Amino acid sequence: MNDTMLLNVTGKTALADGIYQFEFRSPDGKPLPPFTAGAHVLIETPSGIGRRYSLCNAPSERDRYVVAVKLDPGSRGGSVSMINDVKVGMRIRVSVPENYFALTDDASDYLLVAGGIGITPIHAMMAELDARAARYRLVYCTRSPETTAFLAELSSLPSSRVQIHHDYGNSDQSLDFAKLLATREGNTHLYCCGPRPLMQAVRNNASGWPSLAVHFEDFGTSVSNGEASSGFTVTLQRSGIRVNVAAGQSILEAVREAGVETPSSCEAGTCGACRTTLCSGEADHRDFVLDDDEHDRAIMICVSRAKSDELVIDL
pLDDT at 2: 54
Contact 156, 130 (CB under 8 A): no
Read off the pLDDT band of 303 (50, 70, 90). Answer: confident
- pTM of the model as a whole: 0.74
What is the mean pLDDT of the segment spanning 255-275? Answer: 82
| CA-only gyration radius of the chain, Å | 20
| Residue 116 phi, psi (nearest 5) | 55, -130
Which residue ranges form the domains of the chain, and what is each CATH number?
4-95 (2.40.30.10), 109-217 (3.40.50.80), 232-313 (3.10.20.30)
In whole numbers, what is the pLDDT of the chain averaged over residues? 89
CA nearest to 138, candidates 171, 148, 36: 148
Burial (CB count <10 Å: 0-12, 13-18, 19+), residue 186: exposed
Q: What pLDDT digit, counting tens, does each position of 200-227 carry?
A: 899 889 989 998 899 988 544 333 444 4
pLDDT at 227: 45
Q: What pLDDT digit, counting tens, does each position of 73-107 carry?
A: 655 567 889 999 999 999 999 999 998 899 999 99
- What distances in angstroms separate CA 314 from CA 96, 278, 300, one per listed residue? 29, 6, 12
Q: What pLDDT digit, counting tens, does each position of 155-165 carry?
A: 999 999 999 99
pLDDT at 78: 78
